[in-house]
Amino acid sequence: VVVGQAQAIGLLRRAVATGRIAHAYAFLGPAGVGRRLVALGFAQACLCPEGGCGRCRACRRVAAGIHPDCEVLAPTAPRDNPGGALALRIEQVRELGHRAALAPFEGPWKVFILDEADRMTLPTAQALLKTLEEPPPRTILILILANPRALPPTVLSRCQRVRFRPLTVEDATALLAARDAPAETAGLLARLCRGQVGLVQEVDLAPLLAVRAAALALLEVPAPGLALRLDERPPDRASVTAWLDVYWLWFRDALCLAAGADDRCLVNADRRADLAALAGRVPLGALIEAVETLKEAWLALEGNVNPRLVLEATLLRLAPASAA
């Protein structure tokens, strides 16, 4: 069951009902809010004789990922480097082009779902553009992505855009509660994952709180000892990305309190007292600057600057805003 995406689902339902199905869609929105589930539901609606009953053989095979006319492509590591960055590979996209040119095996359509389509290089996107420019009949391409700027505009301009919204705290809390999150933690979990409930592996606060604790502990390290501390255990890209998110939300929360916003705006709602203290002792200008600093850090990381360097520079710049 998909919650909170009524607009996207309504648009796709109308397309199926009127038979005006586009050759290509771009499902735009943050990860973990139902993009993939909606894509599979749309594939079921296109391939099921009943328009997506969810119970028939076609629907069940789509859900299980074994329908011959519905294929999900996901990013993979480079063949020669299993630990390398994940990406959709040009071979995958070329192969897709060949298979899209064939007639459907049994259904009225062939549906190709490209998960995390923002993870592809320019040559791969150009290879995909060939298929988009001359779409084979009876083919539907669905690109799932969070960052539209990662793809050339020529690719996106050939897709009908379908927007997915971040979930509200209420919707996210309800979804987590339905996954057996204890009532007393579901709300905080929903806030800390920022409504991206699909990214929460286990319905458990502990991992998220551990990441936050590790990140905030680094804010306390005095500048002279910082380099040494980072050298002890050099952080990888994933950790730095997660920690920057923690800082961003931390200073954003403090800024909300400083601006007199309602407590319901807080992500780190369980740390209200610490945030209020921070908002009380640090000038507003420094909090705003902290948020700016984090935006730059995020861009540097996206731009492939060494993660350890980004983290160190960021922590040094945040020091005036976090100093006790």
Q: Of the ranges 18-26, 56-64, 188-196, 292-300, which one interacts with Zn ion (CB under 5 A)?
A: 56-64
**Cβ-defined contacts of 167-173 (< 8 Å, 24+):** 167/3, 167/4, 167/33, 167/195, 167/196, 167/197, 168/4, 168/195, 169/195, 169/264, 171/3, 171/4, 171/195, 172/197
Dist. CA 59–CA 50, nearest whole Å: 10
Q: Of the ranges 58-66, 138-146, 188-196, 302-310, which one interacts with Zn ion (CB under 5 A)?
A: 58-66
Q: Of the ranges 53-61, 64-72, 111-119, 212-220, which one interacts with Zn ion (CB under 5 A)?
A: 53-61
Q: Write down the least CB distance from residue 5 to Zn ion, Å.
A: 20
State the binding string over 59-88 for Zn ion (x if CB under 5 A, else -).
Answer: x-----------------------------
For residue 151, the 8-state DSSP code is: S
**Which of 44/131 has CB closer to Zn ion?**
44
Dist. CA 264–CA 45, nearest whole Å: 38
Chain residue at closest Cβ approach to Zn ion: 48
Residue from 6, 17, 53, 323 binding Zn ion (CB under 5 A): 53
Per CB under 5 A, contacts with Zn ion among 90-149 are none
**Which of 48/282 has CB closer to Zn ion?**
48
**Which of 64/206 has CB closer to Zn ion?**
64
Residue from 22, 56, 208, 214 binding Zn ion (CB under 5 A): 56
Residue 268 token pair: 């780190």
Q: Write down the least CB distance from residue 255 to Zn ion, Å.
A: 49
Dist. CA 39–CA 115, nearest whole Å: 10
Complete DSSP assignment for 45-65: HHHSTTSS-SSSHHHHHHHHT
**Which of 43/127 has CB closer to Zn ion?**
43
* 210 contributes a contact to Zn ion by CB under 5 A: no
Report the SS3 class of residue 124. Answer: helix
Would you tell me how many other CB atoms lie within 10 Å of the CB of residue 265?
15
Q: Write down the least CB distance from residue 2 to Zn ion, Å.
A: 17
Binding site for Zn ion (CB under 5 A): 48, 50, 53, 56, 59
